[in-house]
Amino acid sequence: MQTKNNEIMQRDLEVIWHPCTQMKDHETLPLIPIRSGKGVYLYDFDGNKYIDAVSSWWVNLFGHSNTRINTKIKAQLDTLEHVLLAGFTHEPAVELAHKLVYITPSALQKVFYVDNGSSAVEAALKMSYHYHLNKGKRKPVFLSLTNSYHGETIGALSVGDVSLYKETYEQLLIQNRQVQVPVDQSLQAAQVALDALEILLKEKADEIAAFILEPLIQGAGGMHMYHPAYLIGARALTEAYDVHLIADEIMTGFGRTGKMFACEHAQISPDFMTLSKGLTGGYLPLSVVMTTNEVYQAFYCDYNEHKAFLHSHSYTGNPLACAALATLEIFAENNILGENAKKASYIKKALEKFLSLENVKSIRQQGMVTAIELVGYESHERIGLKIYEYALTQGVLLRPLGHIIYFMPPYIIGYEEIDKMIEVAYEGIKRV
């Protein structure tokens, strides 16, 4: 019998080329058309529901179709849907920028709007390079951590290190060096990595514009986590060697790590911070590059003295997306981080039993990100895909990164749903 799910899937596959997908897989792997979402659940056309345990690629904070955010965006829709941001401005952009300056580390005083995560990384890299040029220095190289991920446009891909995405395009990339990420969450690993960073900066700082990192958690690199001491050391070293520090908080921002921003765990203020994903609560594409007055001032001059930062996207600072600042109001009016801390420790406790499974190597957690690392599989076995398929049959959307199974649910997830998410993952891991 032809179900509604099937019908939509077939029409989709006639014309849509999906992201991050070998399309041939869909000869056997069904696509899931989603009809609606509410809270932590996604609903398909055939009456199935799925717990969105990965917040739809880490963007959703307060659930699907959140009444508070809906109301704000609907009101904005009847007022102003879009206007260019060059020569013009609008209230949602102004309000959101002020709120961001208020809640991010103190040195970050200026907000440059972009419209997705990778583009924010591109803009931050260009801004850093251009800053040094305006100061009379040519620094054409960037520095990043091994195992990092910063997006998939050419510049962002260049500073990343996940070979699955990067390898093919190697010849197209811009100049980047890599330095070892701390191997685990210990203080000692942080120190070893800082020693390597110092050696590299001593030798190469003259050519390096900026050091970009994902603070505390490398997301697409398999939820790899490291100690905040590394951030403290990296901030001190970059400052000493006149290299910018770019904190890419696109995934870690807005409470994911247990504090509003991961940089707060180390009490550091970077030269640039990139934000996206949770910025709109998972509603609309939007991103920002936050930076310091010092960087801003290096571009502020008469028209012909230095080139201005001539970077733009059509949808920069879109008013509907900025109206999702309702997300920040929810943070301001509720004890979200406190409630998340309780949920995180509940998840941690519930996962203890996983350690007795012989294919579980380790479990790590930082705030509302929890990862279970499996051992004993080759990549061609596509173990993550098997767990993904099993979990869907049980009504949970997990999307493992290879042999790393992780949970990154919307913050409004209830304890019953946490139990279900964990139970399904446990069964899935036991079966493979």
| Residue number of the CB atom closest to ligand PMP | 117
Site for ligand PMP in 129-168 (CB under 6 A): 149-151
Encoding tokens for residue 342?
Answer: 């309780």
Q: Do residues 420 and 395 make contact, with C-beta atoms less than 8 angstroms apart?
A: yes
Stretch that binds ligand PMP, among 100-108, 110-118, 194-202, 258-266 (CB under 6 A): 110-118
What minimum distance in Å lies between the beta carbon of 48 and ligand PMP? 26
- CA separation for the pair 232, 181 (Å, rounded): 14
What minimum distance in Å lies between the beta carbon of 154 and ligand PMP? 12
Q: Which member of 220, 320, 421, 425 binds ligand PMP (CB under 6 A)? A: 220
Indicate the residue among 64 and 224 with the shorter CB distance to ligand PMP.
Answer: 224
CB neighbour list of residue 172: distance below 8 Å, 6 or more residues apart:
154
Site membership for ligand PMP, residue 250 (CB under 6 A):
yes
Q: Which member of 276, 280, 292, 340 binds ligand PMP (CB under 6 A)? A: 276
Q: Which of 134, 154, 127, 156 is nearest to 244 (CA)?
A: 127
Site membership for ligand PMP, residue 118 (CB under 6 A):
yes
Buried b (16+ CB within 10 A) or exposed e, 157-176: bbbbbbeebbeeeeeeeeeb
Give the interface size with ligand PMP as a residue count (CB under 6 A). 14
Stretch that binds ligand PMP, among 81-89, 115-123, 260-268, 371-379 (CB under 6 A): 115-123
Site membership for ligand PMP, residue 318 (CB under 6 A):
no
Q: Residue 257 burial (CB < 10 Å; 0-12/13-18/19+)?
A: buried
Site membership for ligand PMP, residue 248 (CB under 6 A):
yes
- CA separation for the pair 17, 424 (Å, rounded): 30
Residue 227 three-state SS: coil
Q: Which member of 155, 215, 219, 228 binds ligand PMP (CB under 6 A)? A: 219
Site membership for ligand PMP, residue 373 (CB under 6 A):
no
Indicate the residue among 149 and 407 with the shorter CB distance to ligand PMP.
Answer: 149
Where helices occur in 135-263 by DSSP H, the ranges are: 154-159, 163-166, 187-204, 228-240
Three-class SS string for 127-157?
HHHHHHHHCCCCCCEEEEECCCCCCCCHHHH
What minimum distance in Å lies between the beta carbon of 152 and ligand PMP? 7
Site membership for ligand PMP, residue 214 (CB under 6 A):
yes
The conformation of residue 398, written as its DSSP 8-state character, comes to: -
What minimum distance in Å lies between the beta carbon of 306 and ligand PMP? 28
Q: Do residues 371 and 53 make contact, with C-beta atoms less than 8 angstroms apart?
A: no
Residues that bind ligand PMP (CB under 6 A): 116-118, 121, 149-151, 214, 219-220, 248, 250-251, 276
